[in-house]
Structure 1
Amino acid sequence: MLTDRPVPHNRWDLLDGVPVPTPQVSVVVCHYEQPAQLARTLHALGRQTLPPHEIVVADDGSRRPPEPAPGVRVVTQPDRGFRAAAARNLGARHTTGEVLVFLDADTVPEPGFLAALTRTVARCADVLAVGRRRHADLRDLPPGGDPATAPRLSEPGWLTEGYRATRDLLDADGRSFRYVISALMALRRSLFDDLGGFDERFVGYGGEDWDLGYRAWNAGAVLVHERAAVGWHDGPDWAGRAEDRARKDLESRRLAALVPEPITRGAAPPGPVPDVLVDLDADPSTPDVARTVQALLAQTHRDLRIRALGELYPGTVQHEPWTPDQLRRARARLLVRSPLPARTVELMLREAVTHDLGEVRASGPAGEPVAILTTTRALGRGRRRATGLDPAFGRAVVRVDPLLR
């Protein structure tokens, strides 16, 4: 039986010393036309120090899907282009374990991989863990061979530096989702279901793992790099290949549309998935509402969307309830009671993100609250733990001078 020791912020180091239970691990292997690579990976999964509860091969439309083997189930989907997100979701739906591990067919795990990758996940329900991806030329390696004996290829420098700079994600922040690699990743089924799985709008190579990592962080997940969980990737990282610039540009555009983190989104105008969701705490018939909306539209932080009753600003103000996509992806919700100076949202959001807070209040000269910002990160963790806004994230107050009425 799994344990669940909550930790504040991203402090997975506080789990050191907590006994590690033995989880039921379901492994989903994403595959397409890779019979030799899959044979190596399945053989390696059969030699784990923590044997998997089950293995599901999720085939993305191969002309000849893999044959089922003892202890291995094969599920398939039609070939409609590269659909790794949909394939991984399909595989997950056919599993029964309490912990999900995602592997790619071209990634061979070392014998201690599953035990190392799931040790933190088994102790805390909020953890999303990624392993260490090493690279080698495995073309001539038979099933059962040691990948460490194959010709070595360099590890991706951007990953190595990212894990080093964040101390294996202990110091993760709102951009650390870039270090979430679905080729070797683990999380509890409860967290996977809470996130809604992989987003199947990602069709074509790349982006679906970063997107899941963003939504996980945004929902209060604890990100961990399990350095001892080593998987050997057959071939170089994309940085070591002849890069298809058009494909990478498409990936960047998909991420910018769905991930409102400012550097990822860039200068693109906000669309239906904004960074901040704004509700008005005022009678829609009062004159202050129009002035409040005008002040919000003049904010220096432009990536926000306002929801209000009535017929104000058609096409600019949203009158319908927030969609599940908006609620899952926006970094914060803002309740506004009166007109705000132009930098208020920028200052409140900066305070929340810099200090990983749950709530930031903007107070006027007399201490009265004029706006309350709550982070999706604290709301998400609180939702899973039935605590409301998770108190571990803390609160802060910024002082503003409300616009004169």
Structure 2
Amino acid sequence: MLIDVPVPGNRYNLLDAHPAPRPRVAVVVAHYRQPGQLARTWHALCHQTLPPVEVVIADDGSDPPPAPPAGGPPVRVVTQPDLGFRAAAARNLGVAHTSAEVLVFLDADTVPEPGFLEHLTARVARNPDVLAVGRRRHADLDGHPVDVDPRTLPELPEPAWLREAYAGSRDLLDADGTSFRHVISAVLACRRSLFDDLGGFDERYVGYGGEDWDLAYRAWNNGAVLVHEPTAVAWHDGPDWALRGDAPGVKEREAARLAALIPEPGTRRGAPPGDVPDVLVEAASGAVPSLEAQHHTDLAVGGIDLAGGGFDLAGGGGWTTDQLRRARVRMRVERPLPPWAVGAAVRALVDGDLATVVLRTGGVVAATACSTRALGRARRWGGREVASGTLDLDVGSA
């Protein structure tokens, strides 16, 4: 029921020349003490132009948990202990109880329009790398019946920053390494294979916010195609978070969590790399002192045995799977490099969405840098050449 059409870079518009399958869709609804809102969401899921084959209500510790609603697609409720706001863990729990090939994530306070699932999954069904985000609009649904059409109610403001980001990137067609900030988990879809490849949501995110940006960062960094589907509309009950006046300090704590785990410079903002460096290096022993003097300091040097050749995401340098998925660049350094060389390689890879940069000193290959984005896409396609772009860069002498 799915087709696998590779596209270069983030060119998801090339998928539109191919027919759209009607995939088997599982919907995971994150919920916590929202029985009235959940009833609206359930009613909307029962009236989709592409009906889900299964719905899992992932409850984050409500007491009592909600009962499975009746009168629609197969549904089950799974719940976890109430140990704080753990949306990431709840969604992972929900996914673990699905069997469909395409996943859609909704929040219990978000009511999808009838064509939501069909529009949100159209490109996901054509390409296994797609991570698609819908459009979240806002209305006050409190006091209205479960079958109210949110389109008939006065609309509350949409987040201007998000609307402007989609307009400026042509609905993420022009996405880059910072566009993960424009992906929200309340209206999200991907294939199960991509979700599993990324390791799902990171359950270290406890407290409001950040787990969706984190998933989207790892997706982009491992070769995903980011798509905004503006016709896939779901209505959030109430205003955007920024307009709700929630407790102070929430965004500051979210920013600190993101900085610790996402090495993208605008997110890290100078915070120390800790256990998640931006660049992972395997280096010959004679090159190590030059790496300690690099202007790009967000790096870590691993094993110095280069005999194995190539880049192995399953190992090499003693890196953890988490480090391998999060670092933007892998490098093999055979000769000393000048202090600006690593930074130049990172900028070339990221800005050009390239696969490989070969650094030369005096005409001799001194290092090879590969983007995790290219490596991740090749991994999912079984080594098939789906990412391209190599640059030779003469960095002078060390």
> Which TM-score bucket, shorter chain as reference?
over 0.9
Residue 63 of structure 1 corresponds to: 63
Provide the identity percentage. Answer: 62
> Structure 1 residue 308: deviation in Å?
3.0
TM-score, scaled to structure 1: 0.93
| Contact 2:337–2:361 (Cα < 8 Å) also in 1 | no
Q: Distance in 2 between matches of 1:374 and 1:320?
A: 15
The answer to whether residue 50 in structure 2 is matched with residue 75 in structure 1 is: no
**Matching of residues 285-364 of structure 1 within 5 Å:** 289=286, 292-309=287-304, 321-364=318-361
> Structure 1 residue 37: deviation in Å?
0.2
Residue 312 of structure 2 corresponds to: none
Q: Distance in 1 between matches of 2:388 and 2:183?
A: 22
Partner AA of 2:148 in structure 1: G
Kindly provide the CA deviation profile for residues 298-356 of structure 1, in whole angstroms up to 9, marking residues without a partner as x.
1111100011359xxxxxxxx96111111010001011011110100111111111110
Residue 401 of structure 1 corresponds to: 396
The answer to whether residue 124 in structure 2 is matched with residue 121 in structure 1 is: yes
Residue 43 of structure 2 corresponds to: 43
**Matching of residues 366-381 of structure 1 within 5 Å:** 366=363, 368-381=364-377
The answer to whether residue 252 in structure 2 is matched with residue 249 in structure 1 is: yes
The answer to whether residue 16 in structure 2 is matched with residue 16 in structure 1 is: yes
Look up the SS of the partner of 2:57 in the other structure: strand
> Structure 1 residue 369: deviation in Å?
1.0
Q: Distance in 2 between matches of 1:353 and 1:273?
A: 18
Q: 1:384 aligns with which of 380, 383, 387?
A: 380
| Contact 1:344–1:400 (Cα < 8 Å) also in 2 | yes
Kindly provide the CA deviation profile for residues 351-383 of structure 1, in whole angstroms up to 9, marking residues without a partner as x.
1111100101111232x2111000000000000
Look up the SS of the partner of 1:274 in the other structure: coil
Q: Distance in 2 between matches of 1:41 and 1:308?
A: 51
> Structure 1 residue 141: deviation in Å?
2.2
Q: 1:225 aligns with which of 225, 228, 241?
A: 228
Partner AA of 1:74 in structure 2: V
Q: Distance in 2 between matches of 1:93 and 1:254?
A: 25
Runs of 4+ in 1 over 2 A off after TM superposition: 390-393
Q: Distance in 1 between matches of 2:390 and 2:139?
A: 47
Q: Distance in 1 between matches of 2:49 and 2:32?
A: 27
| Contact 2:10–2:175 (Cα < 8 Å) also in 1 | yes
The answer to whether residue 152 in structure 2 is matched with residue 135 in structure 1 is: no
Residue 171 of structure 2 corresponds to: 168
> Structure 1 residue 68: deviation in Å?
1.3
**Matching of residues 276-291 of structure 1 within 5 Å:** 276-280=279-283, 282=284, 284=285, 289=286
Q: Distance in 2 between matches of 1:64 and 1:150?
A: 32
| Contact 2:6–2:386 (Cα < 8 Å) also in 1 | no
Look up the SS of the partner of 1:186 in the other structure: strand
The answer to whether residue 218 in structure 2 is matched with residue 211 in structure 1 is: no
The answer to whether residue 6 in structure 2 is matched with residue 6 in structure 1 is: yes
> Structure 1 residue 144: deviation in Å?
1.3
> Structure 1 residue 69: deviation in Å?
2.7
> Structure 1 residue 386: deviation in Å?
1.0
| Contact 1:32–1:62 (Cα < 8 Å) also in 2 | yes
Residue 277 of structure 2 corresponds to: 274
Partner AA of 1:345 in structure 2: V
Look up the SS of the partner of 1:393 in the other structure: coil
> Structure 1 residue 22: deviation in Å?
0.8
How many pairs align? Answer: 385
| Contact 2:377–2:386 (Cα < 8 Å) also in 1 | no
Kindly provide the CA deviation profile for residues 190-223 of structure 1, in whole angstroms up to 9, marking residues without a partner as x.
0000000000000000000000000000010000
Q: 2:362 aligns with which of 359, 362, 365?
A: 365
Structure 1 spans left out of the alignment, 5+ residues: 311-318
| Contact 1:61–1:80 (Cα < 8 Å) also in 2 | yes
| Contact 2:116–2:232 (Cα < 8 Å) also in 1 | yes
For residues 320 and 19 of structure 1, do their structure 2 counterparts lie closer, same or farther at Cα, with a shift above 3 Å needed? Answer: closer
| Contact 1:338–1:402 (Cα < 8 Å) also in 2 | no
TM-score, scaled to structure 2: 0.95
> Structure 1 residue 109: deviation in Å?
0.1
Q: Distance in 2 between matches of 1:54 and 1:150?
A: 29
Look up the SS of the partner of 1:225 in the other structure: strand
| Contact 1:60–1:77 (Cα < 8 Å) also in 2 | yes
Look up the SS of the partner of 1:210 in the other structure: helix
Q: Distance in 1 between matches of 2:56 and 2:216?
A: 22
| Contact 2:282–2:304 (Cα < 8 Å) also in 1 | no
Kindly provide the CA deviation profile for residues 91-135 of structure 1, in whole angstroms up to 9, marking residues without a partner as x.
000001000000000000000000000000000010000000001
| Contact 2:24–2:100 (Cα < 8 Å) also in 1 | yes
Look up the SS of the partner of 1:245 in the other structure: coil
| Contact 1:138–1:151 (Cα < 8 Å) also in 2 | no
Look up the SS of the partner of 1:233 in the other structure: strand
